[in-house]
Structure 1
Amino acid sequence: MSTMSVPENFVKPEIVAPAGNLESFFASTEAGADAVYLGLKKFSARRLARNFTFEELSRVVRFAREKNIRIYVALNSLVFPGEIKELVETLGVLEKIGPDALIVQDPAIFYLVYNYFPDLKIHASTLMAVHNHLGAQELKKMGAKRVVLARELSLEEIREIKERTEVELEIFVHGALCFSYSGLCLASSFLGGKSGLRGNCVQPCRRLYRSRGETGYFLSANDLSALEIIPELKSIGIEAFKLEGRMKPAEYVYQVVSAYRLVVDAPRGKEKDAIKEGLEILKEAPGRKPTKGYFIQSKRKVNALDILAPHRSGTSGMWVGTVSRRNGNKVVVKVRQQLKTGDRLRPESTSGKEKQAFIVRELEKRGKRVDVANKGDTVRLVTGTNLEPGDKLFKVGSKAKNKWPSHSMLL
């Protein structure tokens, strides 16, 4: 990790957190997000999330304003000609609600906002694939106050863009990565007419493929995790760090925001301790195998094996225990991290082969049914999956009741 120091006059970057629903919005704010980005029921590149109605957005904006938290509306899908009337009506409503900015991909929205809705600010979406200072400068001319850079940039390239442009810059530092370049993937459209650029991606990159006699998830990228290089990213002077996750549950969002809040706020000389603590927090937010993505390159090349994990279909998860023996449809497990009924587990064999995931329906401790097993406990659990001694169990999700409010705090 670089030891580059942060300039004395440096302004701390925003942490921009995701909210696919009201629960995640509150999780983001309680964890310390400076700004929250969210989408409407239409014109969002995450249309499969629950998203927000105009009424919900209006309440969210009022709530956030009282807390000095900024709200960015992701109006970042491509727009068809037949949708222009509805788009104009949407922009009119948004101008009255007054979010802090719109995140935009389609040049048509740039044009309409710049000429007819001047009170609305624009942030250029990462889907515009801006990867150099010329692109950033051009978007500034088009009316963008901020540019969210493409994910496929190294630290050196980001630094060069920052030095050669005057527009605010934002970068993704955590979350899912696409196999294709930011905003240029047509695979979902090709396979079923569902465009990822219109929020309907069916994620063909996450599917199982066969090639040259082998099967694997050959296009499935690991999850970006730049927590360990936040001090170096701060030294570049980027205005905002963005966390992906509008399709993620509130618990995940809370943990990720908390980890990055800790590291971003760490004073000089305390970054290593903050990173260590932050990495422990991230263990409570199961994701795919972490990678620093394109940030770290050698001779302008990335390590493909660091970004791709062909043997895993999804989240790596948190290692919660190892199977010690099997008895019929029950297995005995020594618990490493807290385990609850309702948790979803992904088994992995001693050879690293992934097995069928399952949900914990029953837990037994010393012959009695329990709902929770803590670190160090030995428990029996029922499983329909063919598990063997030595198999590791990774928690990849939970059906535990959400602890965040929804509508009540906005009334």
Structure 2
Amino acid sequence: MRIVAPISRVEEVALLAREGANELYCGFVPDDWVGRFKVRNANRRPSGNLRSLRELEAAISSARQSGCTLSLVLNAQSYSDEQLEAAVEMGKLFIERGGDALIASDLGLISELSLHLPLRRIHVSSVATCRNGSAARLCRDLGASRLILPRDVTIEEACEIAAEVPDLETEVFILNDGCVFEEGACSTVHLPQRMGGPICLDRYVSDYRPRGARKLSVALCQSLRENDQEYEKWLWYRFSCGFTTNEQGMAFGPCGLCALPRLLNGGVAAVKIAGREAPTARKLASVRMVKAVLDRVEAGEHGEEIVRLAQNLRPSVEHCRTGYMCYYPEVLRKAVY
């Protein structure tokens, strides 16, 4: 099983590879894209991107020297006709410079890329929300070599797809960055922090009023307040526990470490660490955590041994107990605290 980690700076390539990342991915939004289209939507992140061709070439070279692969993210939910043409050119440039694969979500872009790239150089982004065998076969037939599954698939669903379409690799999320909606069905945008951050994090004040002349009971008002408080709590966990870490820098936030034995045994090829725009220290700590658990899983440990290891790396037992921090809560339901 391969560990996939994000980069936003060239120097991160060697550092993450040294910690155990096998594959890296990056965004690239050059000035000419911004100047031409007046937006930074070459991918879904306005920040955390490489900005120059020199940086991109240096990252490709460093990945090759470090013994890992580098993929380029082109996963905007849609592109205009002019942007589509520019995205294809960007993808061709990346592959020609020695890049390994493109991560794309728009099926039109995937189809167009398959006409211009060497076979099996396309990874289908989780933003495409492909979640069953039929969707996986479509991606394979379009020329993809890997399907990155959405964040909300279950372990059983991921393993079923891996078994049903064995000639298409499957990749699942393992650490960091949840989503309030569901990526491909996202109803908001990822604004830079200086502009308020993601709209889905806005803290709206709710005012509940009943229909007609009746009044809300005290008990119902209290129940509604408790529901709002629980939603605030869920949001905090969904967005990486406020990007908090322990004293050793180990990151809290959405996590699937306890599920690694079942994912490995189910034929899942790779696990993805999210967070291109995160600080380097957080990325390094994330790779260390995944590597520590995966090494033990590949050595034959499983079940409660792995659950205890994963939850005590930070430690995160209290966070895990809520169920809000878990990508695969079905594992938690079987855990013994």
TM norm structure 1? 0.60
- Structure 1 residue 129 displacement after superposition: 0.5
Task: Name the residue aligned to 1:225.
Answer: 255
Alignment of 1:169-318 (within 5 A): 169-188=170-189, 202-212=197-207, 214=225, 216=229, 218=232, 220=235, 222=238, 223-266=253-296, 267-269=299-301, 276=308, 279-282=311-314, 291-296=325-330
2:136 matches 1:136: yes
Deviations 1:359-379 (A, max 9, x none): xxxxxxxxxxxxxxxxxxxxx
- Structure 1 residue 49 displacement after superposition: 1.6
Unaligned runs of 5+ in 1: 1-12, 303-411
Note if contact 1:151-1:294 (Cα within 8 Å) is conserved in structure 2.
no
SS in 1 for 2:189: helix
Task: Name the residue aligned to 1:322.
Answer: none
Task: Name the residue aligned to 1:319.
Answer: none
Rounded to whole Å, the distance in 2 between the matches of 1:79 and 1:206 is 25
- Structure 1 residue 89 displacement after superposition: 2.9
Rounded to whole Å, the distance in 2 between the matches of 1:165 and 1:270 is 26
Note if contact 1:258-1:281 (Cα within 8 Å) is conserved in structure 2.
no
Rounded to whole Å, the distance in 1 between the matches of 2:20 and 2:142 is 32
Rounded to whole Å, the distance in 2 between the matches of 1:158 and 1:86 is 33
Alignment of 1:4-15 (within 5 A): 13-15=1-3
| Structure 1 residue identity aligned to 2:26 | L
Bigger helix share: 2
Note if contact 2:130-2:150 (Cα within 8 Å) is conserved in structure 1.
yes
Rounded to whole Å, the distance in 2 between the matches of 1:253 and 1:282 is 15
- Structure 1 residue 120 displacement after superposition: 7.0
Rounded to whole Å, the distance in 1 between the matches of 2:7 and 2:257 is 20
SS in 1 for 2:72: strand
- Structure 1 residue 87 displacement after superposition: 2.4
Bigger strand share: 1
Task: Name the residue aligned to 2:154.
Answer: 154
- Structure 1 residue 86 displacement after superposition: 2.5
Note if contact 1:16-1:37 (Cα within 8 Å) is conserved in structure 2.
yes
Task: Name the residue aligned to 1:340.
Answer: none
| Structure 2 residue identity aligned to 1:209 | Y
Give the number of the structure with larger relative contact order, counting CA–CA contacts within 8 Å between residues 6 or more apart. Answer: 2
Note if contact 2:110-2:122 (Cα within 8 Å) is conserved in structure 1.
yes
SS in 1 for 2:25: strand
Q: Judging changes above 3 Å, is the alpha-carbon distance between structure 1 residues 34 and 155 closer, same or farther for their aligned structure 2 residues?
A: same
Rounded to whole Å, the distance in 1 between the matches of 2:101 and 2:312 is 33
Note if contact 1:30-1:254 (Cα within 8 Å) is conserved in structure 2.
no
How many pairs align? Answer: 277
Q: Judging changes above 3 Å, is the alpha-carbon distance between structure 1 residues 127 and 96 closer, same or farther for their aligned structure 2 residues?
A: same
Q: Judging changes above 3 Å, is the alpha-carbon distance between structure 1 residues 29 and 275 closer, same or farther for their aligned structure 2 residues?
A: farther
Rounded to whole Å, the distance in 1 between the matches of 2:177 and 2:130 is 18
TM norm structure 2? 0.73
Q: Look at both structures and tell me which one has the larger radius of gyration over its CA atoms.
A: 1
Deviations 1:205-260 (A, max 9, x none): 22212224646554725232111221121111100000111121011111110011
Unaligned runs of 5+ in 2: 30-39, 209-224, 239-252
| Structure 2 residue identity aligned to 1:99 | G
Identity %: 22
Note if contact 1:148-1:170 (Cα within 8 Å) is conserved in structure 2.
yes
Q: Judging changes above 3 Å, is the alpha-carbon distance between structure 1 residues 89 and 229 closer, same or farther for their aligned structure 2 residues?
A: closer
| Structure 2 residue identity aligned to 1:67 | S
Rounded to whole Å, the distance in 2 between the matches of 1:85 and 1:158 is 33
Rounded to whole Å, the distance in 1 between the matches of 2:314 and 2:43 is 27
Superposed CA RMSD in Å reads 3.1
